[in-house]
Amino acid sequence: MAQDYIKINGKKIFQPDGGSSAAYETTYTQGSTRSQSGIGKFTPMFTIERFPYTATDIPAKDVAEIMQMIVYSKSNKKTKFQLHYFSPYYGKWRDDTFYVGQVSDIKFGTLKDGEEKFESFSFNAQRIDPL
């Protein structure tokens, strides 16, 4: 089988570093608690799949391209996008709707004219629909 790739809105993007990850977060009702004896009483409401993306030594043009697809701006007015990714939960490649509320890390590498690169670039995309 051919290698698949991470895509945003159907477009292959700069691929993240090896060792990519996934994350899941469950939200519980307000009444969920843990007693002083340590026993928990939790009522789960839903679990969200997250896709943390990190790339290093990434050309500035690729960062700009990804940023323009994931970050809300007055010009594009988009708050969500289609992400093609490998889901550990489903054990296969999927297309789901995600959003990014915060780009967490952009470290400049070189700003030499015509050779601009970032040392690192990362964001955390969250799936719109729960599992």
pLDDT tens by residue, the chain, 131 residues: 688 999 999 999 999 987 678 899 999 999 999 889 999 999 999 999 999 999 999 999 999 999 999 998 888 788 899 999 999 999 999 999 999 988 988 999 999 999 999 999 999 999 999 99
Would you say residue 20 lies in a domain? yes
Would you say residue 36 lies in a domain? no
Q: Between the CA of residue 131 and those of 20, 37, 72, 105, what are the distances in Å?
A: 20, 32, 24, 27
Would you say residue 39 lies in a domain? no
pLDDT of residue 19: 65
pTM check: above 0.85: yes
Would you say residue 69 lies in a domain? yes
- Cβ burial of 8 (10 Å; 0-12, 13-18, 19+) is buried
